[in-house]
Amino acid sequence: MKLSQQNHTRIDAYLLANKALLFLMLLLLLYLIFMSCFDIGFACQHKIFFGTECRSCGLTRGLWSCMKLDFATANKFNTQSTFIFISIICQILFRFLLVQISMVHQFLKHRNFNTLFSIDISVIVILFIVNMKYYG
């Protein structure tokens, strides 16, 4: 009984974290839409202080271009924007499916939870490694 209760608590915490991540990523997309619709932009503080662009300069404009499916322009703004956009979309879909499956079914039993958690961590690690390899 105690092991089952601990497992249930772990699953609940994992699902809560996934809901929070899904919410934050959807807020990011709404932020991009808001910034574009009202033509509001923030100057890069690194560029203001040091006179050189930082690694994230142009990322907001690049992500907005990706949302319009204009990947060539997005890469001109920031070379990482296409990769980050694809990563965000994949994570949103994965988190949404995970939350939906867990709400509809009692899918997350002990063995299934461990498998799902391993897949989740593997995807995040792979995305991190690809990002570090190609974008340094």
The model's pLDDT over 87-133, given as tens digits with 9 standing for 90+, comes to: 888 888 888 887 777 765 655 555 566 777 788 888 888 888 887 77
The reply to whether the predicted model has a pTM over 0.75 is no
How many domains does the chain contain in total? 1
Cα of 6 vs its chain's centroid, Å? 28
**What is the C-alpha to C-alpha distance for residues 47 and 43, in angstroms, rounded to an integer?**
8
Residue 92: give the domain boundaries. Answer: 2-135
